[in-house]
């Protein structure tokens, strides 16, 4: 399983296909909430297994060094084997490489402990998307994290 990180249109198209299946079909989140116009200015991570895209996430970094990790999606049949963790860590490492200072994520509330184990700190509860309560978490990028 390889993780590709980049911004090209083919990678974005594959990421959007995974997200459509996970967010719109499985989680019943309206497509317009996923397609927010930030894909073209974000860096995407994509996991491909045997020529099939199976997982994705994206990182958007602004000029002040604040990054947002979003759209973490793993196809159902590939969950529970550490793919999401590899994706998140790859984008955390990418954030360090582009000199981001902080990384924010809005995650499903039930994933709070998962992201805390990766170094994120709980900030607050935020919006409800579809039927899902989201929480804001933040990771402060340091040289030794």
Domain ranges of the chain: 2-140
Q: What is the pLDDT of residue 131?
A: 72
The pLDDT confidence band at residue 92, using thresholds 50, 70 and 90, is very high
β-bridge mates for residue 124, sequence order: 136
User: How far is it, in rounded angstroms, from Cα 61 to Cα 83?
Assistant: 23
Q: What is the pLDDT of residue 145?
A: 55
Architecture of domain 2-140: 3-Layer(aba) Sandwich (3.40)
pTM of the model: 0.90
Q: What is the pLDDT of residue 144?
A: 57
Residue 130 pLDDT > 80, yes or no? no
Query: Which of 9-23, 82-96, 107-121, 125-139 is the least confident region?
Result: 125-139
pLDDT digits (tens, 9 = 90+) for 118-128: 999 999 988 77
More confident residue, 133 or 136: 136
Question: Residue range 131-142: average pLDDT?
Answer: 89
Q: Where are the beta strands (DSSP E) in 1-145?
A: 2-6, 43-49, 52-61, 66-74, 102-108, 121-129, 132-140
Q: What proportion of the chain, given as a percentage, has pLDDT over 70? A: 97
The overall average pLDDT reported for the chain is 92
Q: Answer whether 67's CB lies under 8 Å from 103's CB.
A: yes
């Amino acid at each position: 399983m390889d993780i590709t990180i980049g911004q090209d249109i083919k990678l974005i198209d594959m990421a959007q296909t995974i997200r459509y299946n996970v967010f719109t079909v499985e989680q019943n989140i309206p497509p317009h909430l996923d397609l927010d116009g930030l894909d073209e200015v974000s860096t995407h991570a994509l996991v491909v297994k045997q020529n099939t895209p199976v997982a994705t996430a994206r990182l958007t970094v602004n000029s002040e060094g604040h990054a947002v990790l979003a759209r973490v999606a793993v196809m159902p049949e590939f969950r529970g084997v550490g793919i999401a963790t590899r994706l998140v860590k790859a984008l955390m490492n990418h954030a360090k490489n582009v000199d981001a200072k902080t990384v924010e994520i809005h995650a499903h509330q039930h994933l709070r402990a998962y992201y805390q184990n990766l170094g994120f700190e709980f900030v607050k509860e935020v919006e409800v998307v579809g039927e899902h309560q989201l929480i804001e978490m933040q990771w402060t990028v340091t040289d030794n994290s």
